[in-house]
Amino acid sequence: MAESESQEGNYDNGGNKVQNLKTDMEDLLEKTEKLTVHVAWTAYECVAIQTNPDLHNAMQHLEDVFLMCKEQMEKKWQEMLME
Q: Hey, CA dihedral for 64, 67, 72, 73, is it positive or negative?
A: positive
In this structure, is residue 7 part of a structural domain? Answer: no
Domain that holds residue 44: 13-51
The reply to whether 47 and 57 lie within a common domain is no
In this structure, is residue 78 part of a structural domain? Answer: yes
Q: Hey, CA dihedral for 67, 41, 22, 17, is it positive or negative?
A: negative
Band of pLDDT at residue 64, cut at 50, 70 and 90: very high
* pTM assigned to the model: 0.45
In this structure, is residue 71 part of a structural domain? Answer: yes
Number of structural domains (the chain) is 2
For the stretch 7-37, pLDDT in tens is 555 656 777 888 888 899 999 999 999 999 9
